[in-house]
Amino acid sequence: MAKILCVLYDDPIDGCPRSYARDGIPKLERYPDGQELPTPKRVDFTPGELLGNVSGGLGLKRFLKESGHQLIVTSDKDGADSVFEKELPDSDVVISQPFWPAYLTAERLAKAKKLKLAITAGIGSDHVDLKAAAERGLTVAEITYCNSVSVAEHIVMLILSLAHNYIPSYQWAVDKGWNIADCVSRAYDIEGMSIGSVAAGRIGLGVLKRLKPFDVKLHYTERHRLPEDVERALGLSYHGDVESMARVCDIVTINCPLHPETEHLFNDDLIGKMKRGAYLVNTARGKVCDRDAVVRALESGQLAGYAGDVWFPQPAPEDHPWRTMPHHGMTPHVAGTTLSAQARYAAGVREILECWLEGRPIREEYLILKEGRLAGAGARAYTVGNVTAGSEEARRFRAEGRPLRPAAVRRARARPARAKRKAARRVA
């Protein structure tokens, strides 16, 4: 019997939906490069429903119960007294999502004596200390391609939202205003602008393809240069280093993994070399940017806007400066966990578990580390190292009493309404 410890995000504050906005999701045949979608023997969930939350359990509960394995599902992941730390020492497999990452630091790995496999239900395994995991001979796998298109679509949305000043204009509408000049005094078209992608892997190339019809000038930098025919078809300018690209772009989108080569890549120095008034869109990982350098650049006007969904650590503490910096379009980490993406990565996790439990090999393209060595997608995109330093800060989110339990949140939400009613009674 294997023990599988699965860390997922909390249920919606008002409980799981009884019905959904749409009746289903399109059935895809293959990923854009021809890669096969996940191939588990079966799934026990309805695609299009919430799966990445605790109640959704990635649709694994029945399968693991019937096959006699133990599944622990929790959202309580940070701090020494968390369920995650308590259950870790005798777990064989850890499953975690980048949106609500269970950081597997060297200290935690040292306690996880039985751990053999860490699965990322999504893409991006930087929440695992890959150096320590390699030393331990662990296998780390993720669901390659499961949400790359979700993120590429999200990036196009963020680029347009920043340039067209969408979020402040939406706010004027909500606030019952009609302040056209306020809305448009920071609004531009992207037509004719130079847009560059740091990396042109599954997401980066997906973004470049989607931006081509906007009549923009496209640039990229990559560890692995794209084939000539792809460059020609998209009209891409290749740059041998990020600095040469950043200097000429009006908009930069970051699409590389977080590993020692890319940690704090966008610091004061690099941002200072960008055009004044450039936009920076980061849906890769928060730590690819220097947190305070981004704030300084927005305050000084060096950057006209910054948007993304990734932070460090996650969840971000209440006082994280990206929540309050000017001209930002930040959300919690959501781009890769649309209902569409959840169905794919839940099926991918099931495929990996079926393989591992039956002693069959895990698909090469899913591998980051195979028994301690870079393999598959990992060998192409990562260097072995540790980028988890500082992740223990994530526990402040809970310490600050942020909403974690739906009931507690409902009570907290009801308070202002009650206070309003009370105030109304006093006036009357």
Choosing from 104, 193, 245, 256, the residue that interacts with ligand NAD (CB under 6 A) is 256
The active-site residue, picked from 285, 327, 344, 350, is 285
Binding mask 300-319 for ligand NAD (x = CB under 6 A): ---------xx---------
Q: Is the distance from CB of 133 to CB of 104 less than 8 angstroms?
A: yes
- Which window, 198-206, 321-329, 348-356, 400-408, contacts ligand NAD (CB under 6 A)? 198-206
> What is the rounded CA–CA span in Å between residue 301 and residue 94?
43
For ligand NAD, give the closer residue by CB, 202 or 275: 202
For ligand NAD, give the closer residue by CB, 32 or 79: 32
CB of 254 to ligand NAD, least distance (A): 8
| 208-227: contacts with ligand NAD (CB under 6 A) | 221-224
> What is the rounded CA–CA span in Å between residue 368 and residue 381?
9
Binding mask 264-303 for ligand NAD (x = CB under 6 A): -------------------xxx------------------
Place of tokens 């540790």: 386
Whether omega before 227 lies within 30 degrees of 0, making that bond cis, reads no
| Interaction of residue 194 with ligand NAD, rule CB under 6 A | no
For ligand NAD, give the closer residue by CB, 3 or 77: 77
| Interaction of residue 257 with ligand NAD, rule CB under 6 A | yes
Give catalytic status of residue 314 as yes or no: yes
> What is the rounded CA–CA span in Å between residue 312 and residue 10?
19
Residues in contact with ligand NAD, total (CB under 6 A)? 33
For ligand NAD, give the closer residue by CB, 186 or 210: 210
The active-site residue, picked from 127, 259, 333, 395, is 333
For ligand NAD, give the closer residue by CB, 2 or 123: 123
| Interaction of residue 8 with ligand NAD, rule CB under 6 A | no
CB of 343 to ligand NAD, least distance (A): 15
Q: Is the distance from CB of 362 to CB of 355 less than 8 angstroms?
A: yes
For ligand NAD, give the closer residue by CB, 82 or 314: 314
Amino acid letter, 279: Y
Choosing from 53, 91, 139, 148, the residue that interacts with ligand NAD (CB under 6 A) is 148
CB of 57 to ligand NAD, least distance (A): 20
Give catalytic status of residue 165 as yes or no: no
> What is the rounded CA–CA span in Å between residue 426 and residue 428?
5
| Interaction of residue 336 with ligand NAD, rule CB under 6 A | yes
Q: Under the rule (CB under 6 A), what is the footprint of ligand NAD?
A: 122-124, 147-148, 151, 198-199, 201-204, 221-224, 255-258, 261-262, 283-285, 309-310, 333, 335-336, 377, 380-381
